[in-house]
Amino acid sequence: MSRRTTQDVPGLVEKARSGDARSVARLISLVEDASPALREVMALLAPLAGGAHVVGITGAPGVGKSTSTNALVTALRKRGKRVGVLAVDPSSPFSGGALLGDRIRMQDHALDPEVYIRSMASRGHLGGLSWAAPQALRVLDAAGCDVILVETVGVGQSEVEIAAMADSTLVLLAPGMGDGIQAAKAGILEIGDLYVINKADRDGADQVRRELRSMLGLAERPEGAWNPQIIKTVAMTGEGVDEVVAALDAHLEHLTGSGELERRRVRRAREEIEAIAVTSLRERWGDVHARTELDVLAEKVVAGTADPYTAADELLESYS
């Protein structure tokens, strides 16, 4: 596929800009496959991106991430927004399994040309989520999506990575899925811009809300910083979803007015550049059939003729 599309990258980009789903799919496949054409793709897309509001959606398994994402897409489409959905598995080397469940739950939007849904895995790339997902986001952004929802099926480190690549991070919780103390231990309370208690028609929703308010109240925030909101929803029926969309709009307005949006995006681009650079260096050192400079330096460290810091300096100097 890479050979076939390399000569037609400008055509693919032009079709993707017009909303052609097949072209968008091919461009994201180039990202996943680390195609040689990827440099040309990113060079063409860079001036076209930057207009989408990227919303990260995370939370423990069972809180209703896919159902909530589906409800958010419905609410956004009612407002005339073009929506992209990227369901990312940072750990699985395959794009099947649980990821396909997202598409099953989003069949309501399968025939809507203004909604693009893609399941994506990092496939073991160094940097995982930080390597491939930002470039897939750039494809959807340049394709004219007004809002891009990034949903992770993982927990733990993937939640931190989601927060790093999103303009706004939405953390989902639900009654009966563990108390607020456990959420705090997982680091969830440090990354959220908006907290959504889904399945709020169940017993315990008000208790989760009280615990969240109490814990968020303990956090120290600089003057003028965004105060995370807590909203109760029942995603299955759509209850509370309009409030979530309104809160996301308010957060975007705050980010834009305070300059935080620019700072977050610069930080995101910096991490993307770093991941690409480190990946490139690793590829140069990773030839198992050739004795590289890294091997020579490693032997010196083992022999005691060099320390690891000096060896690292020499390695960096060789690529400067």
Domain CATH code at residue 207: 3.40.50.300
| Lowest mean pLDDT segment, chosen from 123-132, 217-226, 250-259 | 123-132
User: How confident is the prediction for the chain on average, in pLDDT?
Assistant: 82
User: Would you say residue 253 has pLDDT above 80?
Assistant: yes
Instruction: Verify that 74 and 159 share a domain, yes or no.
Output: yes
Instruction: Verify that 38 and 54 share a domain, yes or no.
Output: no
Cα angle, residue 252 at apex, residues 251 and 257 outer, rounded to 5°: 100
Q: Assess if residue 298 is contained within a domain.
A: yes
- Between 178 and 86, the more confident residue is 86
Residue 254 is predicted with a pLDDT of: 97
Helix, coil or strand: residue 152:
strand
C-beta pairs of 133-137 under 8 Å, 24+ apart in sequence: 133/86, 133/88, 133/165, 134/165, 134/268, 134/269, 134/271, 134/272, 135/31, 135/38, 135/42, 135/272, 136/28, 136/31, 136/32, 136/86, 137/52, 137/54, 137/86, 137/165
Instruction: Verify that 165 and 278 share a domain, yes or no.
Output: no
Compute the radius of gyration of the chain from its Cα atoms. 21
Instruction: Verify that 225 and 104 share a domain, yes or no.
Output: yes
Residue 112 is predicted with a pLDDT of: 85
pTM of the model: 0.85
- For the chain, the domain total comes to 3
Instruction: Verify that 55 and 86 share a domain, yes or no.
Output: yes
Packing angle of the helix pair 9-17, 129-142 (nearest 10 deg): 60
Contact 247, 231 (CB under 8 A): yes
Residue 191 is predicted with a pLDDT of: 81
Mean pLDDT of 272-282: 81
Boundaries of domain holding 68? 50-258
> Phi and psi (nearest 5°) for 229?
-95, 155
Q: Assess if residue 146 is contained within a domain.
A: yes
Mean pLDDT of 136-160: 81
**Quick one: tokens of 231?**
């909203």
Q: Assess if residue 157 is contained within a domain.
A: yes
- Between 195 and 127, the more confident residue is 195
Q: Assess if residue 266 is contained within a domain.
A: no
User: Would you say residue 156 has pLDDT above 90?
Assistant: no
Residue 230 is predicted with a pLDDT of: 95
Instruction: Verify that 25 and 66 share a domain, yes or no.
Output: no
User: Would you say residue 159 has pLDDT above 70?
Assistant: no
Instruction: Return the number of other C-beta atoms located less than 10 Å from residue 261's C-beta.
Output: 18
Instruction: Verify that 146 and 278 share a domain, yes or no.
Output: no
Among 104, 122, 146, residue whose Cα is nearest residue 28: 122
Instruction: Verify that 252 and 294 share a domain, yes or no.
Output: no
* Alpha carbon distance 122, 92 (integer Å): 7
Q: Which residue has the tokens 């407002």?
A: 79
Percent of the chain with pLDDT over 90: 45
Instruction: Verify that 65 and 174 share a domain, yes or no.
Output: yes
Residue 278 is predicted with a pLDDT of: 81
Instruction: Verify that 235 and 130 share a domain, yes or no.
Output: yes
Among candidate residues 215, 234, 258, the one where a domain is terminated: 258
Mean pLDDT of 190-213: 90
* Alpha carbon distance 86, 100 (integer Å): 12
Q: Assess if residue 85 is contained within a domain.
A: yes
Instruction: Verify that 179 and 245 share a domain, yes or no.
Output: yes
Instruction: Verify that 170 and 180 share a domain, yes or no.
Output: yes
